[in-house]
Chain A
Amino acid sequence: MTRLFGEPVERLEDLRLLTGRGRYTDDFAHDAAQVAFVRSEHAHAQIRDIDVTGALDVDGVLAVYTHEDLDGDFANPLPLLVPHEGIVAPRTQYALATDEVCYAGETIAMVVATDRYVAEDAVARIRVTYEPHPAIVDLGAAAEPGARVAHADLKDNVAGQFSEQKGDVDAVLAMAPHLFEWRFEIERSASTPMEGRAVVARYDASDDTLLVYDSTQAPTGIRGGLAALFGVDLERVQVVAPDVGGGFGVKIMQFYPEEVLIPWAARRLGTPVKWTEDRREHFIGSNHERKQIHEVRVGVDDDGRILALETRFLHDSGAYCPYGLIVPVITSAQLPGPYKLEHYRYKFRAIYTNTVPTSPYRGAGRPQAVFVMERTIERVARELGLDSADVRRRNLIQPDEFPYDVGVSFQDGGPTVYDSGDYPRCLELLLDAVAYTDFDVERKRAAAAGRRVGLGIGAYVEGTGIGPYEGAAINVLGDGTVTVATGLSTQGQAHETVFAQIVADELDVDIERVQVTTGDTRRIGYGVGTFASRSAVVAGNAVKKAATSVRQQALEFAGRVLEADRDDVELVNGTARVKGSPQTAIPLGRLALVANPLRYAYGAEATEATELARKAYASGDAPLPEGSTPGLNAVEYYSPRCGVFGFGMHAAIVEIDPDTCNLLIRRYVIVHDCGRVINPLVVDGQVRGGFAQGLGGAFYERIVYDDTGQIQNASFMDFLIPYATEVPEPELHHTETPSPNNELGVKGVGEAGVIPVSTVIANAVADALGRPIDSMPLSPWQLFDMLHPDPAER
């Protein structure tokens, strides 16, 4: 059969999703009671009183809960998911607030009612008496000595801090021929998947089991946490992430308050309970990311070679740090990108503010890192009168320098060691594709006609495929269907297709016969989650291992059934057969039946299988020989020692409309490399989608807070995700540098597309306007101000 690895196979999940048969969390349990929350109106306040009596009178209300009602560990603060030695003041929120609320949107009380309409009626009748405190919202101000504190019991707002150094930055900076200092800033933004978060819980008292549907990126972790919270065996809790309507990071937090409270209420009430987030709740109650303020000191020689670089930066943690320091740690590790920094130091402080907490959003600290590095390159080039492409060329890590150790820690705590890459080739491909050398002429010609056009480029390296592990369970059914289960979930990444490609190749079966289930702990209990561009790498290799094991079993057992030497058996088109004797064959499904030594009363294959079993078991062995298992199936795990590093470079040619100050993208070119490609259709889709999200982050999207800590744009009317009318089609080019670290040779691609976009737009606009862009995102009014620097002329 044609090998499917590398082919643009149409997606298997599409048939379901296109016909309205997708099953998202809110599509389950129409019989469930529904939940609405009272959320803090204030960004920082003491709660003096919660009066729920008015709510209890509402017809259809089943229960109203506040923190007082929570018992055991449910009454404790939610977990800190990723501990780090740099955390100095860990704070996580309570599922329902106790006496202090630290951001507008924090959950205070919970109403369970017959439907959401009634639940919201009741929420409106709950009276919370607050003693408001002035909020601290601005990141820079929050980091100042003596700043107002985001938590009443803290003396300052530092959640954590960390620093690492490679080489001797101070000594080299002191001797550098040129020393520059700049400040760069990236605003707050958010994932905003089209489906918000949702949780459904069904408790069955008769056997003390809990079934939870959760629109999460990590069902296995949710399951483990809930079992521990309830103090029950893991087997009594099952968590399913069904179809998930986008994630982009925001759906992995472990735990959001609602993920704890809905199961708790379902168990307490003995009735199914559902909560489906509305869009306003998503803006005020689901995590954000991106806000960082960087200071850079860079020493360069006359040719623009970077001798040493230091960045000190502030990371906006929001009101709590449930995800530890992971975002600034990633920024720090990935800031050098494809460039050789022999002397590099970072020092960051993660700062509490009275805003929605932050955790990774697609890109996860890398868009900030790339912005800082690539704006630095551009500014160095400009200061020294050099071509910025030449400055890039001179600083790139060379193809013969892999594996390359960046010299600081990666997000998994291990060293940051790039496995493979060819950065110079990537850059030359990009420059060729965008006709870089011709652009000078074009820019001048446009300028002569009064038009502002500019070209910008940007490069990134993305660490992907981190551990600890993923697993795959494969089973061959009697009808020849091959089922595959992975613990990680899917939010659009086509796992059902790409994992099926791997299995179909290994077993030589029709891909339509391969059924992949993701994110269902009933099918496989162990797994980690879909984040950090890790699924294809970690789960993909686990699937490959499990498929290889099933293949070996099939060959082995077919040898016995077909009375041939194992090495003379081959798997062809869903059948095991003797090489050179295709009529001596058995379909894989039949083989699986025979490999399970019991009697089948029903099924067309039963008679034949029973007959064949006689042959297979005639040798006097035990029916199941030592070391074998019934049927054809395997569970295998893949655990990488370290991440694998994809990379890419983007270029944009932009024009600024002089009348509207709108950004017009004339061309957008992408060269990217994620190792070996399993499915180019899917990879292109990931890159294009990432580009669109990056463009949103460059020019349209930002979370805007006022000084009192209220979000000013908590709707899609005001938080502007680009439509088809705003997103041009990018030109895609690929290189393929396999990873030597895993059998498939793959690297992750989920986040890649988004990472450099904001930077590339910034560089292009800076080129068009002839002035630096040191904060992102941009907007028409900012471009207007830059085009008309003199207020008198506006």
Chain B
Amino acid sequence: MMYAGPAERVSITLTVNGDVHELAVETRWLLSDVLRHQLELTGTHVGCEHGVCGCCTVLVDGRPARSCLIFAVQADGADVRTVEGLAGRDGRLHPLQTAFRRHHGLQCGFCTPGFLMAALPIYREAPAMTDQELRGALGGQLCRCTGYVGIVEAVRAAAAIEAEGDAT
């Protein structure tokens, strides 16, 4: 069992949006802080730091996780995906992003990256979900601006937008 005091740094490896980063982090640093302030990937937002609002949601090894509830050292070796990795390298929007824009699924935009990352693993199943199921699947994310209508519509529409895109 390794022990390190609060100010001591531990070497970790994080793969973020396909890029491998070797980092020296304090054991108490949150993954959200490391993403934002060490890697300067500020698209991941922090709304409550106690795991309720979901603004900081990222994918860790393919699954949505609150990056404010994970120490960076816990993510050593993990494959992390953030909102910055959603659009193509050519700048082409992900169908979820297109859908959010089309359905006015965002206003201030602060909760949006969290919603996008939470929706990413489920949007292809969304068209088959009942309204209650879909809302339940998004029920870990708070939005203070939209009243959720545009968000729910967007997540439901994303798969069809993807199909349109594939067809063209």
Say whether A451 faces chain B, with CB atoms less than 8 Å apart.
no
Q: Name the residue among A17, A192, A691, A716 with the largest chain B CB count within 10 angstroms.
A: A17
Q: Per-position contact with B for A718-744: 1 when CB-CB < 8 Å, else 0?
A: 000101110101100000000000000
Q: Give the residues in chain B near A386, CB-CB below 8 Å.
A: none
Tell me the minimal C-beta distance from B155 to chain A in angstroms: 10
Residues of B within 8 A of A278 (CB): 49
Are B110 and A194 in touch, CB under 8 angstroms?
yes
Residue of A nearest to B54 (CB): A723
Whether A17 contacts B106 in the complex (CB less than 8 A), given A23-B42, A24-B42, A194-B45, comes out as yes
Which B residues lie within 8 Å of A24 (CB)?
A: 42, 45, 110
Question: What DSSP secondary structure best describes chain B's contact surface?
Answer: loop
Q: Are B43's CB and A20's CB within 8 A?
A: yes
Q: How far is the CA of A192 from the CA of B109 in the complex (A)?
A: 15
Report if B26 contacts A (CB, 8 A): yes
Contact B28 A685 (CB under 8 A): no
Q: Min CB distance, A756 to chain B, in Å?
A: 15
B107's contact among A59, A117, A192, A685, by CB below 8 Å, is which?
A685
A568 at the interface (CB under 8 A from B): no
B151 at the interface (CB under 8 A from A): yes
CA distance A654 to B135 in the complex (A): 20
What are 6 A-B pairs at a CB distance below 8 A? A13-B109, A194-B142, A246-B110, A492-B107, A721-B144, A725-B136
Query: Min CB distance, B16 to chain A, in Å?
Result: 12
Residues of A near B26 (CB, < 8 A) are 117
Distance in angstroms between the alpha carbons of A466 and B59 in the assembled complex: 45
- When distances are taken between beta carbons in the complex, the residues of chain A under 8 Å from B84 are 19-20
Contact of B146 among A115, A193, A279, A692 (CB under 8 A): A692
Cβ of B24 within 8 Å of any chain A Cβ, yes or no, is no
Q: Is the CB of B111 within 8 A of A194?
A: yes
Interface flag for B129 (CB, 8 Å): no
Tell whether, in the assembled complex, residue A715 and residue B48 are in contact, meaning their CB atoms are under 8 Å apart: yes
Contact of A17 among B52, B112, B149 (CB under 8 A): B112
Give residues 654-710 of A contacting B (CB, 8 Å). Answer: 681-682, 684-685, 688-693
Q: Give, as a whole number of angstroms, the nearest-CB distance from B133 to chain A.
A: 10
Interface: B127 (CB within 8 A): no
Closest to A195 in B: B110
Any B CB within 8 A of the CB of A77: no
A interface residue numbers (CB < 8 A to B):
10-11, 13-24, 26-27, 30, 59, 115, 117, 121, 192-196, 243-248, 278-279, 491-494, 681-682, 684-685, 688-693, 715-717, 721, 723-725, 727, 729-730, 753
Q: A30: which B residues are within 8 A, CB to CB?
A: 37, 40
Q: Which of A14, A115, A192 has its CB near the most chain B CB atoms (within 10 A)?
A: A14
The contact string, 1 if C-beta is below 8 Å from chain A, for chain B 90-119, is 000100010011101011111111001000
Q: Is the CB of B100 within 8 A of A14?
A: yes
10 A-B pairs with the lowest CB-CB distances in the bound complex, closest first: A20-B43, A245-B110, A17-B109, A492-B108, A492-B107, A692-B147, A688-B147, A716-B52, A27-B42, A20-B83
- Residue of A18, A20, A117, A493 near B42 (CB, 8 A) is A20
B44 close to A (CB within 8 Å): yes
Return chain B residues, CB-CB under 8 Å to A26.
36, 42, 46
Query: Are A245 and B109 in touch, CB under 8 angstroms?
Result: yes
* Residue contact B45 to A716, C-beta cutoff 8 Å: no
Known: A14-B101, A243-B109, A244-B108. A685 touches B146 (CB 8 A): yes
Interface residues of B in 9-62 (CB under 8 A from A): 26, 28-29, 36-37, 40-50, 52-53, 55
A247→B110 CA distance, assembly (Å) = 11
Contact of A22 among B87, B109, B135, B143 (CB under 8 A): B109
A196 neighbours in B (Cβ, 8 Å): 47
**B6 neighbours in A (Cβ, 8 Å):** 117, 121
Query: In the complex the two chains form, is A195's CB within 8 Å of B108's CB?
Result: yes
Q: Is B139 within 8 A of A724, CB to CB?
A: yes
- Which chain A residues lie closer than 8 Å to B146 at the CB level? 685, 688-689, 692
Given contacts A18-B97, A21-B43, contact A688 B112 (CB under 8 A): no
CB distance from B145 to the nearest CB of A (A): 5
Please pick, from A14, A244, A245, A727, the residue contacting B148 in the complex, using a CB distance under 8 A: A727
The residues of B that contact A723 with a CB separation of less than 8 Å are 135, 138-142, 148
**Listed residue (B36, B45, B143, B145) with the most chain A CB atoms within 10 angstroms of its CB:** B145
B52 touching A685 by the CB < 8 A rule? no
| Known contacts A685-B146, A685-B150; A493 and B50 CB within 8 A of each other | no
Of A30, A195, A247, most B-chain CB atoms within 10 Å: A195
Most buried by A among B41, B42, B84, B93: B42
Minimum CB–CB distance from B55 to chain A (whole Å) comes to 6
What is the minimal beta-carbon distance from A717 to any residue of chain B, in angstroms? Answer: 6
